[in-house]
């Protein structure tokens, strides 16, 4: 297969292997990487030599930390919204391609997996978590929203855990990810390279994975699952905030921490994420991706995304000035507008 410095797609034995090779940027996805992966999946779908796809990273720190938000920010500031939407559109089509891919798709995740990295791993058939696995969808902290299929995947996690992740952007490790189904297998970091080699061999996929998988002790959030399930199942966003306040007042330190976290995020983004989670459980994957494209088309022309990237990535003053500044000031009609049809500009997606 063709090779690019940021992503290498090649056939190794029985596997189509995708190597994310942009370590200095923590494998942040570029449009070129999205296109290269899409081309490889097209080529391998009907290639009898390829029985499975394996995605891995050359970085010990990250599988993929997301999309290239600095580039997206700069495009928007320069008025190049078409370039931004071309990236998101092709990325979302790729997410759908992975979700519906007819061959096993195995992501070896040993390090940070966030944003766009979630989009090219979570929707595959097998998600292998190494010891360094660290999952988050932290978009509400930069005035964005949990995209790349989170609208579909997160509402389907047990015990309102997906809502918790979407609204707070909290990071979780391998044990908690395995407990809620974000990961399918746990494998020690020291054996990941060996596993990659084995997956290129002739053995049955499930037997190979079973031979490498290890059980993990309960994760640090195991003891908080009951609180998460109770509070984040709330029917309204103010209800969730009130639930956290009650728990914090009652002495629950975890609830107090989440309340602080929530109030620091973009109020508009938090409200969008809540609405995504509320609607997403009833959507099929294609409609979830069309929904996300509607949202991102409006965010690209809004305020908070640019302010969030400025505060967190560019100036790094960690002092974003959100508009509106509080959850109480967010109007439901404004949130609903993010979800409205784009008419002729809808995401072109089969299914």
Mind spelling out the 3-state secondary structure of the chain?
CCEECCEEEEEECCEEEEEECCHHHCCCECHHHHHHHHHHHHHHHCCCCCCEEEEEECCCCEEECCECHHHHHHHHHCCCHHHHHHHHHHHHHHHHHHHCCCCCEEEEECCEEECHHHHCCCCCCEEEECCCCEEECCHHHHCCCCCCCHHHHHHHCHHHHHHHHHHHCCCEEHHHHHHHCCCCEECCHHHHHHHHHHHCCCCCHHHHHHHHCCCCCCCCCHHHHHHHHHHHCCCCHHHHHHHHHHHHHCCCHHHHHHHHHHHHCCHHHHHHHHHHHHHHCCCCHHHHHHHHHHHHHHHCCCCHHHHHHHHHHHCCCCCCCCCCCCHHHCCHHHHHHHCCCCHHHCCCCCC
Query: How far, in Å, are 98, 184, 214 from residue 194 at the CA level?
Result: 24, 18, 15
Distance CA 101, CA 104 (A): 8
Residue 278: φ, ψ to 5°: -65, -40
Given this model, what pLDDT does residue 1 score?
Answer: 46
Of 107, 281, 307, 68, the C-alpha closest to 187 is 107
Given this model, what pLDDT does residue 3 score?
Answer: 52
Given this model, what pLDDT does residue 11 score?
Answer: 98
pLDDT tens per residue, range 153-173: 999 999 999 999 999 999 999
Residue in this structure with the two tokens 């929904």, named with its chain if needed: 291
Given this model, what pLDDT does residue 264 score?
Answer: 96
pLDDT tens per residue, range 13-35: 999 999 999 999 999 999 999 99
Distance CA 147, CA 14 (A): 32
CA terminus-to-terminus distance, the chain: 28
Residues annotated as catalytic are 67, 116, 139, 147
Given this model, what pLDDT does residue 351 score?
Answer: 53
- Residue ranges for the chain with pLDDT beneath 50: 1-2
CATH class of 3-345: alpha beta
Distance CA 47, CA 106 (A): 17
Of 27, 20, 30, 29, the C-alpha closest to 57 is 20
Tokens of 289: 């991706």
Given this model, what pLDDT does residue 67 score?
Answer: 87
Residue 12: φ, ψ to 5°: -125, 105
């Amino acid at each position: 297969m063709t090779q690019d410095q940021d992503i290498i797609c090649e056939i190794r034995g029985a596997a189509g292997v995708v190597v994310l090779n942009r370590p200095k940027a923590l494998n942040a996805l570029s449009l070129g990487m999205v296109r290269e992966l899409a081309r490889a999946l097209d080529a391998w779908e009907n290639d009898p030599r390829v029985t499975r796809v394996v995605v891995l990273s050359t970085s010990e720190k990250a599988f993929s930390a997301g999309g290239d938000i600095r580039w997206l920010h700069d495009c928007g500031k320069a008025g190049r919204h078409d370039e931004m939407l071309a990236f998101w559109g092709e990325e979302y089509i790729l997410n759908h391609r992975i979700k519906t891919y007819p061959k096993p798709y195995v992501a070896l995740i040993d390090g940070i997996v966030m944003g766009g990295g979630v989009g090219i791993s979570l929707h595959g058939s097998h998600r292998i978590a190494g010891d360094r696995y660290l999952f988050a969808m932290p978009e509400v902290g930069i005035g964005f929203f949990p995209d790349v299929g989170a609208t579909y995947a997160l509402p389907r996690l047990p015990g309102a855990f997906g809502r918790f992740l979407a609204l707070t952007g909290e990071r979780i490790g391998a044990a908690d990810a395995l407990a809620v189904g974000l990961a399918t297998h746990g494998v020690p970091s020291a054996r990941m390279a060996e596993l990659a080699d084995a997956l290129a061999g002739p053995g049955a996929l499930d037997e190979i994975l079973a031979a490498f998988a290890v059980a993990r002790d309960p994760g640090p959030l195991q003891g908080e699952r009951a609180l998460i399930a109770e509070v984040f199942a709330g029917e309204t966003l103010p209800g969730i905030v009130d639930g956290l306040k009650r728990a914090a007042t009652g002495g629950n330190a975890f609830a107090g921490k989440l309340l602080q976290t929530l109030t620091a995020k973009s109020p508009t983004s938090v409200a969008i994420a809540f609405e995504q989670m509320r609607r997403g459980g009833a959507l099929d994957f294609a409609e979830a991706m069309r929904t996300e494209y509607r949202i991102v088309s409006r965010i690209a022309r809004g305020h908070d995304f640019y302010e969030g990237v400025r505060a967190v990535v560019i100036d790094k003053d960690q002092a974003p000035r959100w508009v509106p500044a509080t959850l109480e000031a967010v109007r439901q009609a404004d949130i609903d507008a993010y979800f409205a049809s784009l008419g002729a500009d809808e995401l072109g997606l089969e299914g």
